[in-house]
Structure 1
Amino acid sequence: MKKAVFTFILASLVVACSSKKEGNMIVKGQIKGLKKGTLYLQKMKDTALVTVDSIALLGNDTFVLSDNIESPEMYYLTFNGNTNDKRLLFFGEKGEITINDKIEEFGFKPEIKGSKNQEVMDKFQEVDTKFTNQRLDLIKKEFEAKQANNEELIKQVEEDFKKMVRRKFLFTTNFAIANADSEAAPYIALTQLYDANIKLLDTINNSLSDKVKASDYGKRLQKFVDDIKKKEN
């Protein structure tokens, strides 16, 4: 009888320990080549990166993580909670999100499905990568021009850089406006146009749908715009 009771208690403990309360956002997938390690689901809270869920992977490269999310926001998948090593950034939202990647290229070209905001970010990053490459090319040209002490070329590179920045700002503004019903729009404005003309930020802010304005990033953009206007007055 005692043995039966002990077995029942043990079984109950196993069930209690193995069952994890799932949030309204489920993140699952596979990291090919991952033999062991702890995978963390993290997000920014104020200015700190906090862990909301984690899973130890021992010989199994599939994972399931979750969190209760009120408004779409950026999340990190990291190993050992260290974003300086390898990290994967994705736009989290309610529902089921599937992420597949490889351990060797973790975070560089992940396959992410189930997040509409991530789809918007992917489209933005396709073009933004071209601007990043242009910036790197101009930095190289400027370095070479300074080495050669070529003042004319240095001035030309500076002008080309200004033109590139203007093109990037205009593209980013138009992209955010075109996706004004996505929480990715205010996020893009906050991370890409923080040093742009207030008119561009204000234009994006005014174009946002009511749903997006009420989101976390929508509220942050409104506050950011309001703070700049106060300083300028």
Structure 2
Amino acid sequence: MKNIITILALSILLYSCSSKKDGNMIVQGQIKGLKKGKLYLQKMKDTVLVSVDSISLLGDNTFRLTDQVDSPVLYYLTFDGNTTDKRILFFGEQGTITINDNVAQFGFNPEINGSKNQKILEQYNMMSRKFQNQRLEFIKKDFDAKREKNQDLITQLEKDYQRLVKRRVLYTTNFALNHADSEVAPYIGLTEMYDASLQMLDTVNKSLTPKIKDSEYGKRFQEYLNNIKANENK
């Protein structure tokens, strides 16, 4: 009798595991060097980061996670639930997305394939990092100039920095306009165009295709603009 109960329990367990339904997005890959740990597939829901799938890895560094994607959005692949210094941020969408990385530098330079939006976002991030590095250089030069009380250099650095800000805004706006048929455009509008004028934001919003306007980020971008306009009219 005990053996029969054990067999039945195992059968139920195996059935429940095999009957798990996949969503329309599969995230798979390999984390080299990972001996033991747990990977979480997470995304923002309202303002809360929620886990949509997870897998425990014990001696096997390959993984497979899934979710049902209604509209392409940013996802987090986190190691042991650590969302600060060990995470991979990527654009999730329908289909199979392959992510390969290593445990020693998890999240630093992962290889991500299978997401059209991710490739577009990577193009933007490459240039954005250059602007960020230039900004850090300005901060250092400004610190040194103020320490030396070199007012002429301080004034010149301020002018040069404002030109850098303007170049960044123009680049970001043009990038969004050139990718108006991608969910990356409203995402950039929401997260990267904080220095842009309302006119620039409006121009990007009007350029979005109907499909993108109806996406999650498209709707949030429209709501964001509505709030700005409402506050200006107060």
Q: TM-score, normalised by structure 2?
A: 0.95
Q: What do residues 52-82 of structure 1 show as CA deviations (whole Å, max 9, x unaligned)?
A: 1111111111100111111000000112222
Q: Mean Cα displacement is larger for which, 84-93 or 192-201?
A: 192-201
How far did residue 8 of structure 1 move? 4.6
Residues 29 and 100, structure 2, Cα contact 8 Å, conserved in 1? yes
Q: What do residues 23-72 of structure 1 show as CA deviations (whole Å, max 9, x unaligned)?
A: 11110000111111111111111111111111111111110011111100
> Which residue is equivalent to 1:58?
58
How far did residue 216 of structure 1 move? 0.3
SS of structure 2 residue aligned to 1:106: coil
Gaps of 5+ in 2: none
Q: Give the Cα–Cα distance (whole angstroms) in 2 for the partners of residues 104 and 176 of structure 1.
A: 34
Residues 90 and 118, structure 2, Cα contact 8 Å, conserved in 1? yes
Q: Does 1:87 align with 2:87?
A: yes
Residues 169 and 195, structure 2, Cα contact 8 Å, conserved in 1? no
* Aligned Cα root-mean-square deviation (Å): 1.4
How far did residue 129 of structure 1 move? 1.1
Counterparts of 1:77-156 in structure 2, within 5 Å, are 77-156=77-156
How far did residue 134 of structure 1 move? 0.5
> Which residue is equivalent to 1:10?
9
Q: Does 1:183 align with 2:188?
A: no
Amino acid at match of 1:102: N
> Which residue is equivalent to 2:21?
21
Q: What do residues 81-104 of structure 1 show as CA deviations (whole Å, max 9, x unaligned)?
A: 221231110000011110001112
Amino acid at match of 1:95: G
> Which residue is equivalent to 1:160?
160
Amino acid at match of 2:169: F
How far did residue 4 of structure 1 move? 7.2
Amino acid at match of 2:30: Q
How far did residue 156 of structure 1 move? 1.2
What is the number of equivalent residue pairs in this alignment? 232
Residues 73 and 93, structure 1, Cα contact 8 Å, conserved in 2? yes
Q: Give the Cα–Cα distance (whole angstroms) in 1 for the partners of residues 157 and 94 of structure 2.
A: 45
Residues 30 and 101, structure 1, Cα contact 8 Å, conserved in 2? yes
Q: Give the Cα–Cα distance (whole angstroms) in 2 for the partners of residues 139 and 175 of structure 1.
A: 26
> Which residue is equivalent to 1:42?
42
Residues 51 and 81, structure 1, Cα contact 8 Å, conserved in 2? no
Residues 42 and 50, structure 2, Cα contact 8 Å, conserved in 1? yes
> Which residue is equivalent to 1:75?
75
How far did residue 164 of structure 1 move? 0.6
Gaps of 5+ in 1: none
Q: Give the Cα–Cα distance (whole angstroms) in 2 for the partners of residues 12 and 21 of structure 1.
A: 18
How far did residue 3 of structure 1 move? 6.6
How far did residue 14 of structure 1 move? 2.9
- Runs (4 or more) in structure 1 with deviation over 6 Å come to none
State, as a whole percentage, how many aligned pairs show the same letter.
Answer: 58
